[in-house]
Amino acid sequence: MHKHSGACPPIDASKCSWEEMVQILIEHNADLDAEDHYGNTALHKAATSGQTGCVGLLLVLLEAGADTTIEIIEIMTASQAALHKTTSPAYKKIAAILDEQDPQKRREMLREEQMTSPSVKGKLF
């Protein structure tokens, strides 16, 4: 992972939700976790692009192993950046998809589910 001061193909293609180009870049071993000068990765740009094709692109990036834990300068993961952008249902769906892939978030969600489960609720541990 390294920072780019100029153009970075995975970031640029993700910003435009250009899924076919991202697929080609993945096939050619592009660094999906490369960061721009603000710390944004392809995943951050896809999550905040506002383009209709971004959900499919997010799934492509996640399947290819893009890191969901990288934080941008504002100390936000891609999921947090999507929610920061707006509270629209589309961005909430994006954040949920990303959170499902983050191991730490997944553990937190499982713990939360266990604590609210009827069989666990009210028991002291």
> Tens digits of per-residue pLDDT, 91-107?
677 777 777 777 666 66
Q: Mean pLDDT across the stretch 12-29?
A: 91
Indicate the residue type of 124. L
Q: Does domain 9-116 have CATH number 1.10.287.130?
A: no
**For helices 19-27 and 54-63, angle between their N-to-C axes, nearest 10 degrees:** 10
Q: Kindly list the domain boundaries of the chain, sorted by start residue.
A: 9-116
The CA distance from 9 to 50, in Å, is: 19
The CA distance from 35 to 42, in Å, is: 8
**Confidence (pLDDT) at 29:** 94
> Could you give phi then psi for residue 11, rounded to 5 degrees?
-70, -45
Considering only residues 26 and 16, tell me which one the structure prediction assigns the higher pLDDT.
Answer: 26
